[in-house]
Chain A
Amino acid sequence: MNQWEVFVMDMAELAEGKDLELSIRTLNPGVHKYTYKHVKCQVSSNPEKLPDRLQVRMGRGQLSPARFSIKVIEEIQRMPAKYA
């Protein structure tokens, strides 16, 4: 099970039951902690429903008490291939 974190300005950005595109950062321990991936995913406000855990921070870094779960469907590469 992986742990992720996302920044949102508004909880409505975490709509349930549909595919979302989010930049999420890993909270898994180790040297890569806090690095981001841009992903297609689904989220649920039930922290147990989907395979990975997701916590949420608001616009100025405040940690939300709400806990979510997340299913990462795929990583989306926004970066032009020339920089790979």
Chain B
Amino acid sequence: MSKISAPRSNREFIEACVKAGDAVRIKQEVDWENEAGAIVRRACELGAAAPFMEKIKDYPGFSYFGAPLSTYRRMAISLGMDPASSLPEIGKEYLKRTNSEPIAPVVVDRKDAPCKENILLGKDVDLCRLPVPLVHDGDGGRYVGTWHAVVTKHPVRGDVNWGMYRQMMFDSRTMSGAVFPFSDLGKTLSDYYLPRGESCPFATAIGLSPLAAMAACAPSPIPEPELVGMLSGEPARLVKCETNDLEVPADAEIIIEGEICPDYKVEEGPFGEYTGYRTSPRDFRVTFRVNCITYRNNATMTISNMGVPQDEGQLLRSFSLGLELEKLLRSQGIPVTGVYMHPRSTHHMMIVGVKPTYSGIAQQIAQLAFGSKLGPWFHMVMVVDDQTDIYNWDEVYHAFCTRCHPENGIHIYRNTTGTPLYPFATPHERKYSIGSKVLFDCLWPVDWDKTNDVPTLVSFKHVYPKDIQERVLANWTAYGYPQAK
């Protein structure tokens, strides 16, 4: 692999973003109660630079970094690419790196781990010593984990999992979080810890390198510490926790260690979500008891503020869900030309381009997509042919409105896995994570006669001979038009 020079920590990332004009340093004091959240939200809605808030009310010495990956420019910077890289270029690079050889992490001595600069144990443990923000007015609590990784390990299989599962501060030593039963951690809990009534050690790492955060929310089957190595081209640096055997990113800004209680639950939510609504009901959810907090000097807390497009919940998840589905479909030999989720679909619609070489190919794609580990996170699959540019919503929308047969092209799948976050779901469906899905098959049927039955696309690109197209393009300004983009 060629040398990658991606930011190795949140600090290096902030620096790279400031240098590229993709982060602003905010020197004036910002309130942790709503104000910081409102700044991040507005930055997301404007597609503006990420706010680096250097002075926080009540919390001298701490800072916030908001909306870390809510633009493709910052995603390119996080990968060590030119910020102006196009989305297909970024996608290609992600696929190249995540298809490479896994790179194992290294464990460093605690003296080389900046996250150990301050250690709170025993009576000193108090989450309120961290600048935990009230992200949206009306949220059920202040959220400790909005852009982070919850580190756990399966005690028998030994699989390490870093997952981004939101965590609300309930009191000074307790957090509750939305760990869905179909997630890796949800499965470890129901497979091992809950039936035995044993508590599950965890560590929450906040202020990660951007690629560690990307790995924590990527739906990849590769263990996250290896995935970070593959994405960054070098081993992730880990360090052992103070109070359990887990290993955490040594350069993280803040580490919260503790145990997940199998026999005790407190309320979580409501919370502003990636769908652009506060949907999932307040409920008794997975409960985390905190035993130790460690943090760097001048620690920076990272904040993702989910709401209407576009934030990293939509941008990054659309990106990685799409690319992981592309890998899955290719592994099954399906002739896909690409897979893309437009972030403003709030990663609800998977658009798949395919060479329609056999009957039922759209159904095969939908069944694989919905039946995979990725499936609970979206409920629409739209399959278009290889002539349609999946990144161009105008083309996709045209194909959908003209080629999807209302009776034969729409297929509904009932009683699938859902999440409590779907705004359209009934209250009962939300409570029990019951889903339903739909396929929009926008392919011309294979049994139509290609010459006489399949309509011809009437567009400049498709109906005119090449020489005429070239002549018209060459003369465009001579006809009196401004140069088209």
Contact = CB atoms under 8 A, between A and B. Distances in A.
Interface of A: 7, 23, 25, 30-38, 57, 59-63, 78-80, 83
B281 A59 contact: yes
Interface in B36-79: 58-59
B261 A35 contact: no
B152 to A, nearest CB: 17
B4 interface: no
Interface stretch (B137-145, B179-187, B310-318, B397-405): B137-145
B139 A61 contact: yes
20 contacts: A7-B267, A7-B270, A23-B266, A25-B141, A30-B58, A34-B141, A35-B170, A36-B170, A36-B171, A36-B267, A60-B138, A60-B270, A60-B279, A61-B137, A61-B139, A61-B140, A62-B138, A79-B174, A79-B289, A83-B261
A61 B278 contact: yes
Given A59-B282, A80-B263, A80-B264, A31 B141 contact: no
Given A59-B281, A61-B139, A36 B266 contact: yes
Interface in B261-277: 261, 263-264, 266-267, 270
Interface of B: 33, 58-59, 128-129, 134, 136-142, 169-172, 174, 199, 259, 261, 263-264, 266-267, 270, 278-279, 281-282, 289
Contacts of A80: 261, 263-264
Contacts of A31: 58-59, 128-129
Nearest to B171: A35
Interface of A is mostly: loop
Given A23-B267, A78-B264, A83-B264, A34 B142 contact: yes
Contacts of B170: 35-36
A11 to B, nearest CB: 15
Contacts of B59: 31
A57 B169 CA distance: 18
A63 B264 CA distance: 28
